[in-house]
Amino acid sequence: MTRRVTSIALTLALTLALAACSGDSPSPSQNERQSPSPSPYVISPSPSPSPDPSPAAQIGDIITFGAYEWRVLDVQNGKALIITDKIIDFRSYHSEWEDITWADCDLRAYLNGEFYNSFSAADRARIVETRNVNKDNQWFGTSGGADTTDKIFLLSLEEAVKYFGDSGQLANGNPNSDWYIDDQYNSARIARTAKAVPESDYPPGSAWTWWLRSPGYHSSGATFAHRDGELDVEGNPVHNDVLGVRPAMWLDLG
């Protein structure tokens, strides 16, 4: 019995040796024929650095600046256009119900005065002075007044359309309304309150209306975004003091 086992072993060894000498290799198994799947934990080499690296903030980001959270609307040349993510205050566009434009309204004076000065000196140094074009109302022809240079401002009707979604209704009209832009971008324009709406049953976190700086149907009114996201091109009386405020600014990211 021992001889038989030894003989079998010698025969097997001789077969393998001959195969090795002939240069032939045993055929690979089915699993060996397939290229192994790359491991999900293998990190590919990083590409060469870009000569124009990505900015510190990206469009759509929520960043903290001062005491507020801000949504990034645009990034250009190391600067970001930001707007408060929430409605942070409730104020009239102007204290009196009279013909007024953004250049001369009380809300602009407040934002570029008291509100601007509420930031630290270091933060104020990062707020970029901006030349704002104040166009006439595109549907009704109401004067937008003089262009302005602002540290802090409200979005115009055109900017609200540009940054939250343009369905073409501002330029071409809404076939279903003479007063509103009502389109698929309504939800993007909805803003919620950081605190309760004064003299109302709306608690913090409620969807609410917020001012734009463009004129409405009359010079005694200003455009705004409804709490359901529609843009009111007709406008609201400027002395209405329960509409929300979402300040905007260009911020130096350096």
Cα–Cα dist 4/24, whole Å: 28
Q: What pLDDT is recorded for position 55?
A: 52
- Nearest partner of 234 among 154, 162, 174, judged by Cα: 174
pLDDT mean over 103-131: 98
Asked if pLDDT for residue 50 goes beyond 60, the answer is no
Of the candidate ranges 51-60, 66-75, 169-178, the one whose mean pLDDT is the lowest: 51-60
Give mean pLDDT, residues 70-96: 98
Residue 21: pLDDT above 90? no
Check pLDDT > 70 for residue 144. yes
pLDDT at residue number 117: 98
- For the cut 70, the answer to whether the pLDDT of residue 167 exceeds it is yes
- Note the pLDDT of residue 196: 98
Closest CA to 205 of 230, 227, 224, 189: 227
- Confidence check: pLDDT of 33 > 80: no
Please provide the average confidence, as pLDDT, over all residues in the chain: 84
Tokens of 250: 């260009």
Task: Look up the pTM and report it.
Answer: 0.78
Whether residue 207 is predicted with pLDDT greater than 70 in this model: the reply is: yes
Helix, strand, coil percent content, the chain, rounded in steps of 5: 25, 25, 50
Nearest in space to 207 (alpha carbons), one of 87, 49, 68, 65: 87
| Cβ count within 10 A of residue 12 | 10
Q: What is the pLDDT of residue 56?
A: 78
- How much of the chain, in percent, has pLDDT values that exceed 70? 78
Given a cut of 90, whether residue 174 has pLDDT beyond it is yes
| Res 245 pLDDT > 60 | yes
